Structure 1
Amino acid sequence: MKCLELAIPPLPSLVTVGHAMWLPGNCHFERSFDVYDVIFVKSGAMYMREDREEYVIRGGQLLVLEPGKTHAGSAPCTEETEVYWVHFKHAAALRRLDAKDIPWSAVLPQGRDSDTKPSDQTMYLPKHGDVPFAKLLPALNRMVKLNAQLSVEEALQLQTLFGELLGTLQTEAKARPAPRSSELAKEAVLYLQNHWSEPFHSKSMEDALHFQFDYITRCMKKYTGMTPLQYVHHLRISHAVTLLAQTTLSVQEIAERVGIPNASFFGRLFRERMGITPGQYRLQRQRQL
């Protein structure tokens, strides 16, 4: 399944939602506008064209039409077709990629007390294909009802339901069969989460996961953006941050507790990840209390 990669935040904003029965002979008109148009077909079939690509949306499927592209019906409906549509506003997709290639395990920066804006993140939306209609239908029906009687009281609830709808669609994309390399990356991450405080040895990973370390490294790099050792350093610095904020242990003691006894090396890793030294971080936290 192809998916659209969208940059967040901000989250997509719902514009409108609707429901209709298309009769045989009905055909979508041609247009190009600056919103996403998500078409859900419950039963029957719709025939659409987006620029030069043609799609058939059958019962239990969706199609996401993108802003700035011209879309129109490529042929009239040949049977009674039940359709839901959702229009939302968001920036153009960063790219289109297969669900199996999405880096679901990629490590994102953690928010800090000193941050004034969120870090760059991404979300994923199936472009075209089967969707779990039974799961989506209650939310779609509720959204249609709220939109028809919209008031200040229901506005936030409507946007929240839309967010849940997007979450269900992303979960569906993630549930598609993943390649072995993706599964190995997840197993490697779990192994490191359980053994981060121990001395790092590539041979131990090979013995535990039954693959050569070079292959484990390639898989982790593809799906997390980090090598095994980089991921261990990430976990150790994350634990060090907690100890600096919640204890009075010295920097040297904390370095030893997280498995980096060389204080100089610990300080360099900490600064690379956090942008400041361990001492500066502790002082900053103390001033915020």
Structure 2
Amino acid sequence: MSSFFEFTVPPLPHYLYCGEDIYSGNTSHPNRKNIEVFDLLVVTRGNLKMAEEDQQWSVDAGQALILRPDRHHYQYEKCKDETHFYWLHFQTRGAWSENKENKERSGNVQITPFHQKELFYINIPRFCSLSNPISVYEKINNLLLLIKQPSCNTKLHEQAVFHELLQDLQTEQKPNINSTILQLAERTAVYLQKNYESAITYSTISEELNFHAAYLTRCMKKVYGCTPLDYLTTHRINQAKLILLNTDMSIGDIAEKVGFSSTSYFTRCFLKMVKISPLKFRKRFRT
């Protein structure tokens, strides 16, 4: 089974540098170890035979391979035909892992006292055949042009192009979450966001979406890392924070408006997630 790199965001992976090479029988890829950057290789012509410790890949034209930053990689066989490829180095300051299947996550979404800051995950295939190689080639060529045309805006432009490239690569990742599970989790999230002001229980969610509550919970945990009611509570608290910051509405009225059954329960949930009470939150950020 092909593996993929999972990056926890924020922060997003960031582009460092790129280039291109042509190898013939007399040239080979450098033998390197623990270079501390991800090395993306995209072959446009010929074949590149790369190894990373005990793993080997034969990378043909229109295919891409990402080598880890913390292992030994090398070319295990020289190119028989002239081989052209792009290389691109990138890194992240956030968490990342190499997986063969999506992990079920637990716990609530991270929230700062002032604004919502949700963690999400992007999955980039380790090795893949590109469904639209021309798009990938064009983006890397744009990065090569930016190297030759430095300006005060170059750095930001480079990152924007790189993130478009990541989106291209992410589409190549074969879904490790069953599409039915993914779609149902997204439907559940949309329903909760649209109806958060109403009284919602597992029974009402189950009736609305026509699936058993236990199955809905499993789908939400697989995709969002939390139960439907945890997701709902998080959304309600974030809506309450906006109201606290922008109106003089009483705490009780806010609790009722965002769907909590009582002011005391709203205050307990707010204190648990934001680490201060709604009243103190308002006093901290309102003059």
TM-score, normalised on structure 2?
0.85
**Aligned ranges 1:1-20 → 2 under 5 Å:** 1-20=2-21
User: Are 2:81 and 1:95 aligned?
Assistant: no
- Deviation, 1:102, is 6.6
Residues 35-44 or 124-133, more deviating: 124-133
Whether the 8 Å CA contact 1:252–1:261 is kept in 2: the answer is no
Structure 1 distance, partners of 2:255, 2:94, is 44
Residues 1:70 and 2:72 are matched in the alignment: yes
Does 1:22 pair with 2:39?
no
What RMSD, in angstroms, separates the aligned Cα atoms of the two structures?
3.0
CA shift, 1:226, in A, is 1.5
Gaps of 5+ in 2: none
For residue 213 of structure 1, report the CA deviation from its aligned partner.
Answer: 0.9
| 249 and 159 in structure 1: CA distance in 2 versus 1, 3 angstrom threshold | closer
1:22-171 mapped onto 2 (5 Å cutoff): 22-23=23-24, 26-32=27-33, 33-90=35-92, 94-98=96-100, 101=102, 108-113=109-114, 122-131=121-130, 132-148=132-148, 150=150, 154-171=154-171
1:174 Cα shift?
7.6
For the residues of structure 2 that align with 1:261 and 1:202, how far apart are their CA atoms? 15
Q: Which residue of 2 aligns with 1:231?
A: 231
Structure 1 residue 270: Cα displacement: 0.7
Instruction: Give, as a single letter, the amino acid of the residue that structure 1 aligns with 2:123.
Output: Y
Would the alpha carbon gap of residues 59 and 111 (structure 1) be closer, same or farther in structure 2, given more than 3 Å must change? farther
| Structure 1 gaps, min length 5 | none
- The equivalent of 2:214 in structure 1 is 214
Offset, 1:107: 6.9
Asked if the contact 2:112–2:274 (Cα under 8 Å) also holds between the matched residues in 1, the reply is no
Rounded to whole Å, the distance in 2 between the matches of 1:70 and 1:82 is: 22
Offset of 1:31 from its aligned partner? 1.8
Cα distance, 1:203 vs structure 2: 2.6
TM-score, structure 1 as length reference? 0.84
Q: Is the 8 A contact 1:4 1:93 kept in 2?
A: no
CA contact (8 A) 1:67 1:92 kept: no
Structure 1 stretch displaced more, 123-132 or 175-184: 175-184
- Cα 1:42–1:168 change in 2 (3 A) is same
> Residues 75, 59 of structure 1: CA spacing in aligned structure 2 closer, same or farther, 3 A cutoff?
same
Superposed displacement of residue 172, structure 1: 4.1
* Aligned-pair CA distance for 1:120: 6.3
2:16 aligned partner, one-letter code: V
Amino acid at match of 2:249: L
Q: CA separation in 1, counterparts of 2:115 and 2:193?
A: 26
Give the percent of matched residue pairs that are identical in Structure 1 and Structure 2: 29
Q: 1:42 to 1:178 in 2, by over 3 A?
A: farther
2:206 is equivalent to residue 243 of structure 1: no
Instruction: Tell me how far 1:224 sits from its aligned partner.
Output: 1.2
**Change in CA separation of 1:76 and 1:186 when aligned onto 2, cut-off 3 Å:** same
How many residue pairs get matched?
Answer: 283
Deviation at 1:219, TM superposition (A): 1.4
One-letter code aligned to 2:125: P
Shift of 1:8: 4.8
Instruction: State the secondary structure of the residue aligned to 1:173.
Output: coil
Summarize deviations over 1:154-191 as a string: whole Å, max 9, x none. Answer: 34433442333234323443878844222221121122
Deviation at 1:286, TM superposition (A): 1.1
Tell me the secondary structure at the aligned position of residue 65 of structure 2. Answer: strand
Contact residue 102 and residue 223 of structure 1 kept, 8 A: no
The one-letter amino acid paired with 1:45 is: N
Larger mean Cα displacement after TM superposition, 273-282 or 68-77:
68-77
